[in-house]
Amino acid sequence: MLDYLIENGLVVDGSGSAPFEAKVGIREGKIACVGRDAPAAANVIDAKGLVVSPGFIDTHTHSEFTLLADGRAEGKLSQGVTTEINGNCGLSAGPLYGEAAERRKADLEELGITERWSAMQEYFALLQHKGIAINYATLCGHGNIRASVMGYKALAPGKGELSEMKRLLAQALKDGARGFSTGLIYPPGVYSETEELIELAKVVAETLPLQGIYASHMRSEGDSLIEAIKEAVRIGKGAGVHTHISHIKTAGERNWHKIDQAVSLLEEARASGLSLTCDRYPYTASSTDLDTILPAWVYEGGAEEELRRLKDPKTVERIKAEIGPKDDTYWKGVSISSVVNPENRWMEGESLFDTAAKMGRRPLDALFEILIQERVRTGAIFFSMSEENLRRFISLPYAMIGSDSSVRSFTGPTCTGKPHPRGVGSFSRFIGRYVREEGLIDLPEAIRKITGLSAGTFRLAGRGLLKEGFSADVTVFDYNRIIDTATFRNPFQKSEGIAHVFVNGIQAVRDGEFTGMRSGRIL
């Protein structure tokens, strides 16, 4: 007997093939059958008028700590996500030694996490013990291994240091990491040279031949976008490893015209034999740390050194000169998403322009004051992208959807601040707005991008398709209703149209409501 039978639904199986009517049977965590006939079942779900698809795969997330703090993962389940790829932008759960571990203490304390670990395998054990509602896969962050070995110095690694970095990366890959990621605008990744990254990416090719991946938050997504794409391609070719460009974009209106050249470079790299993919979230605003406005040299040495520089009048004048003049439009396009000091909560959701006005400061002066008050732990949202370019990127046949967000729930320790709504709305927005309303691509292709293509790219064996023998990660949704409702002002709002979600054969969402089950696994 089946555990579940989903009948009368329209199956979109994740392969890109045309939809078809079929019954989908689930038994012992696996897809038992997909077809006209099926055995009897203990539980029957009538999916008449609904689409039955593989569970969605979020290819770019940052849930290392929020998922450990609260494993319910409601924000992702509410939009049909059953699996996340973590460890992006050079930051992963492990390894954590030396200055890398020291730097993460504040993040852990803020979320009430008392556990500590060093190696990736130790983290996996902690996460699985606590229980998670979705599947967790991860890359190993370059920032972790560099900071563990070298701290936050703006120096090239010596021979011994590079050897130790390689050792830590190889161990993380053997522990279960699926590749290597870089965050080349953040410390300490910002201090690395291309050759260092090639040498490390070679470890991926050697340890996980034909399986591993190099994913990069590139050195620039705006003024030096073209040069950054060329560097990513050079690293991929130099190491002989699959290359994945994270949250690809043309940031800043003065860079929007670079879309043609950017896409041409991607196409040329693929035509030359490089296995290359990318991801993007379906919004024109990005989100990261507020201090990314500052020149990279300001970060050197870690948070305490950064604060020291921000408090030194002569250094501040140098920083201001390098930032250069910014008009009111720029500051109105920067919104504060999170603060750590309770007395500054009023800033959350406000533009830096309006915040400065309320403080009686000029925006640039307010920036320094806020960073000092918040000990450089302020989150921000930047409105700087082109809607037309967004549509073109997400239409690329090798582009996936990645929320670029940590998992959050609608109550509890992760329900704080005014985070980017992409954490709750990316996948329902992609299908509801860009597929159903705008017809940018058809539904089978859209589902392939967020299931089969994603599973294939990140080597998630036995997932991403509704196919007999595959893991029963299943999302059932109303194609006529699915849409995001989360906004920048009110980001903690559930999507509409998600009816049922199964994770490894266990129902996590039933009739649009969370069941509280935690059947996710470490992949």
Tokens representing 302? 């870690």
Q: Which residues contact 109 (CB under 8 A, 6 or more apart)?
A: none
Which one-letter DSSP state was computed for residue 62?
-
d(CA 299, CA 305): 7
Buried b (16+ CB within 10 A) or exposed e, 362-374: ebbebbbebbebb
pLDDT at 163: 98
Tell me, letter by letter, the H, E, C secondary structure of 319-347.
HHHHHCCCCHHHHHCEEEEECCCHHHHHH
The fold of the 2-54+466-514 domain, in CATH, is Urease, subunit C; domain 1 (2.30.40)
Contact assessment for residue 503 and residue 513, using Cβ atoms and an 8 Å cutoff: no
Query: Average pLDDT of each block of 10 consecutive residues along the chain (523 residues)?
Result: 98 98 98 96 98 98 98 98 98 97 93 96 97 98 98 95 98 98 96 98 97 97 97 98 98 96 98 98 94 92 91 95 93 94 94 96 95 94 96 98 98 96 98 98 98 98 98 98 96 97 98 98 98
pLDDT at 55: 98
CATH 2.30.40.10 domain range(s) in the chain: 2-54+466-514
Collapsed DSSP state (helix, strand, coil) of residue 245: strand
CATH 3.20.20.140 domain range(s) in the chain: 56-284+385-457
Strand pairing report for 276-280 and 399-401: parallel
d(CA 19, CA 49): 13
pTM: 0.95
Convert the pLDDT of each residue in 53-89 to its tens digit.
999 999 999 999 999 999 999 999 999 999 999 999 9
Largest CA distance in the chain: 76
Convert the pLDDT of each residue in 285-337 to its tens digit.
998 899 999 998 998 888 899 999 999 999 999 999 999 999 999 999 999 99
pLDDT at 102: 94
Q: Options 3.40.1280.10, 1.20.1250.20, 2.40.50.100, 3.20.20.140; which CATH number does 56-284+385-457 get?
A: 3.20.20.140
